Structure 1
Amino acid sequence: MASNGYNPRQRNGHRRRQNRARVKAANTCCYICGRPIDYSLKSPDPWSYVLDETIPLARGGTLTYNNSGAAHRWCNQVKGTHTLEWARREVANILNGKGKGMQARPTSIPFTRLDV
């Protein structure tokens, strides 16, 4: 918090909650791996829903709907502050067993659900 009492994280919290609800309402698949998201899962489940910024805030991105997408928590962690294209390639490689060994698969249970 700055000495003047202004906390930018507090200000972003409301906008982030609004944007998160808007993206969640669209009920889309993960925009990194392309697989369905089970919106009923809660954190810290690796397949739970998180809001991801296409261009990370740390890299100059904005907290807007056009710069956001629905993602799995695990996919978002792999992406970090990398580009979306890099993350899509890296996640596909890891899920196909061709990753560089730096990231582990989120679970050994197959990614299939009948109620999705």
Structure 2
Amino acid sequence: MASNPRNGRRYRTLCTEQRALGLPCWWCGKPIRYDITGLAAQRHRDAFTLDHAIPLSRGGDLLDPHNARSAHRRCNSARGNRTDHKRQPVRASRRW
């Protein structure tokens, strides 16, 4: 049985290094809540997640630092595997 590379040391190190940069979300440009960690970060929409400029499903490298980007959890999830930021931006849902 193959192990999950996201549980490996190289991936955790990449996440730590990216988090330490303190960058805004590369997708929406707004600040990320880097203070949210642990289990709370797995659920909070403004928490940091490691995103990939070239999505893994389109051949992007999971462990390549040049492919790593800081993103909000909500932006990373909403973006999916899209690559064209200008034609298909992530939009917040309407508030009625």
Deviation digits for residues 28-76 of structure 1, max 9, x if unmatched? 0000000001101222101110000111122111121100100000000
Q: Identify the residue that residue 19 of structure 1 maps to in structure 2.
A: 14
* Structure 1 segments (4+ residues) deviating >4 Å: none
Q: TM-score, normalised by structure 1?
A: 0.67
Unpaired stretches in structure 1, ≥5 consecutive residues: 2-6, 96-103, 109-116
User: Identity of aligned pairs, percent?
Assistant: 37
Alignment of structure 1 residues 76-115 onto 2, 5 Å: 76-85=76-85, 89-91=88-90, 94-95=91-92, 104=93
**Bigger Rg over Cα:** 1
Instruction: Indicate if the aligned counterparts of 1:54 and 1:68 stay in contact, CA closer than 8 A.
Output: yes
Computed over aligned residues only, the root mean square deviation of the Cα atoms, in angstroms, reads 2.2
For normalisation by structure 2, the TM-score amounts to 0.80
Partners of 1:33 and 1:48 lie apart in 2 by: 13
Greater relative contact order (CA < 8 Å, ≥ 6 in sequence): 2
8 Å contact 2:49–2:76 — kept in the other structure?
A: yes
SS at match of 1:78: helix
Q: Distance in 1 between matches of 2:45 and 2:8?
A: 22
Instruction: Give the number of aligned pairs.
Output: 90
